[in-house]
Amino acid sequence: MKEWLSANGISTIRTIVPVVLISPTSSISRKHLGPEDHVVKSDNFGQWWNKQADEKVGVVAAFGMLGRHLINGMSEEDLRTLGTKFRDAHTPLAREWEKILRLSGPLPKSEEASELPQVIESKLGNVTITRLADGRLTLRNDPGDELIAAVKASCKGRARWNPRFRNWVFDQSALAQIVSSLAKLLPN
């Protein structure tokens, strides 16, 4: 922040105190925090602010601030300009947390894939293949231990199990291998 202020020619702000606000219902272990580390519950921010003003700003410091403000303080227009610069300098994080943390999130709603063998029938039960809106394919099977074992063997290494929707998700390129493997493992 200090570097940004000096790079933007703002010299009237001399002290910066970083503060982390947390929700009132959060808990935090403060044993590793130093005296200059400020983690404040948002509902206690007003009290914290007043305490900082009472403890950190004595009479001498207050007169020093007043003198600096009278000599080179900020007008309302300067403060608004500073606010505009802050706003314009803000860039949202461009991180894809779902990918970094390997979160699957909700999968797109599936639609029937008419060009695919929608249902593969066997004596053990049916296997249904559908296409997701993003182009990936899903495979879901009827219950039954033998059918589940055959589907699992066919999808292993080619598809990802999605426990939320209880189906296998895979790319179009793996379709032929999976269907071929199913044809070998399932009785007609």
Judge whether residue 102 has pLDDT over 80.
no
Query: What is the pLDDT at residue 115?
Result: 66
Task: Note whether 81 and 116 are same-domain residues.
Answer: no
Percent of the chain with pLDDT over 70: 75
Q: What's the domain count of the chain? A: 2
Task: Specify if 57 maps to a domain.
Answer: yes
Find the mean pLDDT for residues 110-123: 67
Task: Note whether 157 and 122 are same-domain residues.
Answer: yes
Segment 84-98, tens digit of pLDDT: 887 888 776 666 666
Segment 21-34, tens digit of pLDDT: 888 888 888 888 88
Q: What is the CATH number of the domain that holds 166?
A: 3.30.70
Task: Specify if 132 maps to a domain.
Answer: yes
Residues in CB range of 75: below 8 A, 6 or more apart: none
Task: Note whether 10 and 78 are same-domain residues.
Answer: yes
Which tokens is 148 given? 């589940």
Which tokens is 61 given? 């410091």
Which residues constitute the domain of residue 69?
2-90
Task: Specify if 166 maps to a domain.
Answer: yes
Task: Note whether 85 and 165 are same-domain residues.
Answer: no
Task: Note whether 42 and 85 are same-domain residues.
Answer: yes
Segment 49-73, tens digit of pLDDT: 788 777 766 666 666 666 666 666 6
Task: Specify if 65 maps to a domain.
Answer: yes
pTM of the model: 0.40
Tell me what the pLDDT averaged over the chain comes to.
80
> Lowest-confidence range among 48-57, 116-125, 132-141?
48-57
Task: Note whether 118 and 50 are same-domain residues.
Answer: no
Task: Specify if 28 maps to a domain.
Answer: yes
Task: Note whether 62 and 129 are same-domain residues.
Answer: no
Task: Note whether 86 and 18 are same-domain residues.
Answer: yes
Residues in CB range of 159: below 8 A, 6 or more apart: 139, 168, 169, 170, 174, 178
Find the mean pLDDT for residues 11-40: 82
Task: Specify if 104 maps to a domain.
Answer: no
Task: Specify if 25 maps to a domain.
Answer: yes
Cα angle 50, 51, 57; round to 5: 90
